[in-house]
Amino acid sequence: MASDVSRRDFLLMCAVASGAPLAGLDPGPAVAADAPKKGGTLRVAFYIEAATMDPHLSGSKIDRQVYHNIYEPLVTLDVRLGIKPGLAESWQQPDPKTLILKLRRGVKFHDGTEFNAEAARFNFNRMKTEPKSVRKGEVASIDSVDVVDAYSIKLNLKRPDAALLATLTDRAGMMVSPKVAQERGAELERNAKGAGTGPFEFVEWVKDDHILIKRNESYWNRQGGPYLDRVRYRPIPDDTVKLQSLQTGEIDVMDYVQPRDVAAVKADRNVVVVDVPSLADFAYQLNHARPPFNTKALRQAVAYALDLEQIVKGVWLNVGVPANGPIPPTSWAYDRSIPPIRRDLAKSKARLAEGGQPNGFAFTMTTNNIPINVQEAEVIQAQLREAGITMKIKLVDSATLISDGNNKNFEMISYQWSGRPDPDGNTYQFYKTTQGTSLNWSGISNPQIDALLDRTREVANQAERKKLFSDLTKILQDELPMVFIVHPIEPKAFSPKVRGYEPIPDGMMRFKDVWLQ
Amino acid sequence: MLRRAARARLAPFGAGVVLLAVLVALTAPLLAPYDPLAQNLGNTLARPGRAHLLGTDNVGRDVLSRVIWGTRVSLVAGLVAVAIAVVAGSLLGVVAGYCGGRVDGLVMRLMDAVLSFPPLVLALALGAVLGAGLTGVLVALGVVYTPTFARLMRGQVLTINARDYVEAARALGAPGWRVAWRHVVPNAANPIIVQASLSVAFAILAEASLSFLGLGIQPPQASWGSMINAGRGYLQQAPWIVFGPGAALFVTVVGLNFVGDAVRDALDPRTRA
Amino acid sequence: MGRLVLRRLGATVPVLLLVTAGVFALLHLTPGDPIDVMMAESVDAEVKENLRRELGLDRPLYVQYAAWMGRLLRGDLGRSIRNGEPVVESVSRRLRPSLELALLAMTVSLVIAFPVGIVCAVRRNTPIDRAGATFAVFGICMPNFLLALLLIFFFGVTLRWLPISGYTDPLEEGWNGLRSLVLPAVTLGLALAAVVTRTLRSSVLEALAEDYVRTARAKGLSEWRVIQAHVLKNALIPVVTVLGLQLGTLIGGAVITEYVFALPGVGRLVVDAVFARDYPLVQGVVLLIAVGFILSNLIVDVLYGWIDPRIRSR
């Protein structure tokens, strides 16, 4: 998943990042002053079938699209990635190892049971103890959960965790009806009836065909929507077919427009494109444990040989921005004063000589067998050739890619991270020294980086954290565990009759205030 | 007779196409107007015109030059896959036909198993096991076509074995393998050649289908199928990326088919109507 | 007859053993792991290990195979790793669109092949016949992925006559369902039509040369009457054979067509399962496809013997 950024889009992204007015992000017609109207079924297309309806067992990105309409997290994100109240009305942190959440009153799960402090504690315990829980790592910093009163809970932390609130904006903060979870057990994976508190209720999931949700008539938030009667999700794996389905009116919303289609779709009056800046970070990990990239100078030779501007323009068609590091422009921690590494063939040559390969060297890049990755690989290959570096391309399916990465069986490997709202999620697990399998595929182990990373978790002050992440970015540009390529935009496309969509950079489509004209 | 005459008119056309394809494959470096790998990101998806007769692709490469170079890949793929199948299939067929009994049963059950295996799954898995690239796909296609040749060869061996001159040779004390090599193989060659010439066309199609799913040849090299795959996302904006290799593929396969039919008519007396 | 069927059924057992062992070995040789695919973005090694243990993926390969075989003998194909659904359920859900598509494709092929094949045979060696033969070659040589793209391009995008993706069950929504299957059925049906046309043409020709046809003609029956009454019945046998043999291939092998048109069929199921390294699902589907293939062969043979008793003696 990726996208690219035209100059205009880039300015918009900066606008988002800096908090400038956001009206420009909305598609023209969608901000028309018509009064929202109830009714209708919204037909949404995804690139793949969902995996499970249980947010605590979900390891697949696509599931979250549905979850954000039927479940609700304790806190949510605003357009600028700030944290705003969700099922928790407010929160306070008396000390770095304690987080007290005040819960909203009068919220009911779809099965009629009440949401309260006991329910919240049940959920945290479930995430921590359920054998199949995929959330364990995300809530690892939570030691225990106390019920303070009927509507407030206290999270006792093992260590300071500045990123915890941001983590609670997604699946780790989503509250499931304890009654449903206990009574339905594993069946919850297929049937989420009554399980959530969100603006929509789960109706049915006909595998390989559709997931249907309907309006929650007794939703706690009386402001705005939900307006839609129903939302029907459908998997359409082929991008071209998906787009054509939108153009021919078979669907109303598609989750992602390929960069190659953006220009054409923007010219089509039957389709409205919304550029949603993402949290993603697309890069290539370099294996520090084996030649040639165990030599720092050779890593730098590759980095200086790459022309990111050209890649972003030619491959991503500007549906993204050149990356200066792992933190996307949408984040408060993004440091605009650090430029992406610029192409400099003379420097590249010098580094080659320094690394003992004055006449260049050869290596293999492993990448996913999907069209835009192939295209990017071909362009990189051509750029490196100009610097005297020979790159072979090895195309693999994603299972092989992950296996090669985990086993450090690569020289350079594509890594496309969908991103997390807090910069911690884009950094710590990739650059912290770790034994065994981890997302630190490059195998980088650098005491200075380790110390910086630990510090970012302890410091609560945002400005101070931003400074730490800037320092980190500069070191990463020198040490190069990865060569950073692009922060993509993830454009979504709508039928013009879809109104009221608000793009949040996490890419999730929340339909509470969406209506059909 | 008349029908053969009708076919006879198609055969030269087919032969012409095949000859042309072979020629193009051999002289690709001379023929191609551009380097098939030379990118020009400033001139992507250019319409067909005087500079680029078939337009340019998504990284600005000349489609015509890539179609020309792709001829090599496609032809080689078809020939190699069929060659693997002919060699493996014939050997297995001879062994099965000669040894009979348990060996025969085992070999033929193995062939049945291959036949009832979904070919695409075989190709996917073999591709992953043998590592990405054309090799995996060629081996997979070879394996898929092997049973056809094995069955054919076994049938031939059984028929020919029963003939007088073979029995005579054996009676004179010639060792089994020699009888096989001297008498059986040459006599079984015709149907194998007929089947092989027909199979090449389908092997080229199959390689293209697998390339269409992203298996096979690794970038930046291209086969016709992989070009169609890369171009399918641009069908609306730049259909020439698909049409160029699509036309080349279609015409070549049609030509090979005509030639295959002609070879069959010439070598297989039974189809002479 | 019964004994023949039994013997043939007996012979399928070793074939199926080879197929399942082959799939098993190939799959496990393939790099990648279902748990890693499922939890691509999770770092929690402990969770992954627990899951592997729970699913028995940490045991030696032969133990896993034996366990799978043991369950199979009790009629249990296991559950998908990705979503925990019983394999039998996944497959039976996917079987319906695949079957409908296959039958519709056959219908398309017959609608084309019948008139073309018969006319070509009756008017043999005329320009009509040659046109028919050329059509057949073109149909056989047209790559189905290319045909699918062209059909989508013209009928879906340019003319907007037909839906280009997705599946609506014709048994539930009748007309809409049929519409959703038209383009994929034509994609598959055209190539099949080419094969059937060839087969029908030559079998009609053969039948026309038979004595009883000459007798019928001598009785003064019109040519069309002769074909209706005497030729077609006999000429149908090879056509039934071809279609029967294709049925298995159409159900499990329409992967590309199912992919391009986003149809939830068996072919796509197995490829997706391979990509997800969903071992039990791949094994189950491949086994069922193989069984289907073998059975359709068997049924064709039996039908053959039933339609034409002369063959039984072979």
Residues C105 and A504: their CA atoms lie apart, in Å, by 45
* Cβ distance of A131 and C262 shorter than 8 Å: no
**What is the distance between the alpha carbons of residues A272 and C106, in angstroms, rounded to a whole number?**
40
State the smallest CA–CA distance between residue B179 and chain C in angstroms.
Answer: 29
Average the pLDDT over A97-111 and give the result: 91
Greater confidence (B258 vs C237) lies with B258
Our CA angle for C92, C98, C100, nearest 5°, is 110
A382: contact with B, CB 8 A cutoff: yes
Most confident of A186-195, A464-473, C180-189: A464-473
CB-CB: which of B2, B129, B212 is closest to C26?
Answer: B129
Is residue B65 within 8 A of residue B34, CB to CB? The reply is yes
3-state secondary structure A75-139: EEECCCCCEEECCEEEEEEEECCEEEEEECCCCECCCCCECCHHHHHHHHHHHHHCCCCCCCCCC
User: Residue C17: pLDDT above 50?
Assistant: yes
Q: pLDDT at residue A10 above 50?
A: no
Check residues B128 and C143 and name the one with the higher pLDDT: C143
Nearest to residue C91, comparing CAs of C303, C282, C308, C232?
C282
Q: What is the pLDDT of residue C180?
A: 81
Least confident span in A110-119, B54-63, C264-273: C264-273
Residue A1 confidence class, pLDDT cut points 50, 70, 90: very low
Give the per-residue pLDDT at A14.
Answer: 36
Confirm or reject contact between B35 and chain A (CB < 8 A): no
Q: For the ranges A167-176, B40-49, C293-302, which has the lowest average pLDDT? A: C293-302
CA distance C301 to C7: 13
User: Nearest C-alpha of chain C: how many angstroms from A238?
Assistant: 7
Distance CA A489, CA A256 (A): 10
Mean pLDDT for B134-160 is: 87
Mean pLDDT, chain B, integer: 84
Computed over every residue of chain A, the mean pLDDT equals 87
Using a CB–CB cutoff of 8 Å, tell me whether A158 touches chain C.
no
Task: Compare CB distances from B214 to A313, A378, A395 and report the shortest one's residue.
Answer: A395
Average pLDDT over residues A384-394: 94
- Nearest chain C residue to B127 by CA: give it: C30
Q: Residue C166: its chain A contacts at CB < 8 A? A: 234, 236, 245, 250
pLDDT beyond 80 at A100: yes
Both tokens assigned to B120: 């695409």
Identify which of A313, A369, A378 has the shortest CB distance to residue B214.
Answer: A369
By the 8 A CB rule, do C285 and C87 touch?
Answer: yes
Q: DSSP letter string over A253-270?
A: EES---HHHHHHHHH-TT
What's the CATH fold of domain B13-28+54-271? MetI-like fold (1.10.3720)
Given this model, what pLDDT does residue A12 score? 36
Least confident of B13-17, B55-59, C290-294: C290-294
The pLDDT-based confidence of C40 (bands split at 50, 70, 90) is low
Strand A83-85 to A75-77 pairing: antiparallel
* Chain centroid to CA A274: 17
Give mean pLDDT, residues B99-119: 86
Q: pLDDT-derived band of residue C245, with 50, 70 and 90 as boundaries? A: confident
Cα-only R_g, chain A: 23
| Residue A147 pLDDT greater than 70, yes or no | yes
The pLDDT score that the predictor gives to residue C308 is 61
**In this complex, do A403 and C32 lie within 8 Å of one another by their Cβ atoms?**
yes
- Measure in Å the smallest separation between the Cα of B41 and chain A Cα atoms: 5
Q: Which of A374, A386, A394 to mutate to test the interface with B (most CBs of B within 10 A)?
A: A374
CB pair distance less than 8 Å for A247 and C157 = yes
Kindly provide the ipTM of the predicted complex, given to two decimals: 0.81
The whole-number pLDDT of residue A31 equals 46
Instruction: Report the pLDDT value the prediction gives residue C108, as an integer from 0 to 100.
Output: 93
Per-residue pLDDT tens digits for A287-307: 999 999 999 999 999 999 999
Q: Is A397 near chain C, with CB under 8 Å?
A: yes
Specify the pLDDT at position C250.
Answer: 78
Question: Measured between CB atoms, which of A261, A315, A393 is closest to B218?
Answer: A393
CA distance B11 to chain C (A): 12
pLDDT, residue C43, reads 62
A99: which strand partners?
A155
Residue A249 near chain B (CB below 8 Å) = no
Whether the per-residue pLDDT at B213 is higher than 90: the answer is no
Is the pLDDT assigned to residue B23 strictly greater than 90? yes
Query: How confident is the model over A214-227, as a mean pLDDT?
Result: 89
Residue A13's pLDDT band (boundaries 50, 70, 90)? very low
Domain boundaries, chain B: 13-28+54-271
Contacts of A397 (CB under 8 A, 6+ apart): A368, A369, B128, C32, C275
- Taking residues A383-403, what's their average pLDDT? 90
Closest CA to B131 of B119, B142, B140: B140
Which of A28-32, C112-116, C193-197 has the weakest average pLDDT?
Answer: A28-32
| pLDDT score of B81 | 93
Residue A295 contacts B where some CB pair is shorter than 8 Å: no
Phi and psi at A271, nearest 5°, equal -135, 140
Residue A377, chain B, CB below 8 Å: the answer is yes
Per-residue confidence (pLDDT) for residue B27, from 0 to 100? 92
- Which pLDDT band, with edges at 50, 70 and 90, does A28 fall under? very low
| Whether residue A23 has pLDDT greater than 60 | no
Identify the top-confidence range among A428-442, B128-142, C292-306: A428-442
**Partner residue opposite C271 with nearest CB, options B116, B120, B209:** B120
**For residues A218 and A108, is the Cβ–Cβ distance under 8 A?**
yes
Length of chain B counted residue by residue = 273
Task: Please give the residue of chain A at the shortest CA–CA distance from B226.
Answer: A371
User: Is a pLDDT exceeding 90 seen at residue C286?
Assistant: no
Q: Is the pLDDT of residue A16 over 50?
A: no
Question: A116-130, A238-252, A486-500: lowest mean pLDDT where?
Answer: A238-252
In the sheet with A412-417, reading across from the earlier edge strand, the strands are: A320-322, A482-488, A281-286, A412-417, A362-368, A390-396
Mean of the pLDDT values across residues C13-26? 87
pLDDT value at position A484? Answer: 96
Chain A contact present for B37, CB below 8 A = yes
Residues of chain A with pLDDT > 70: what percent? 94
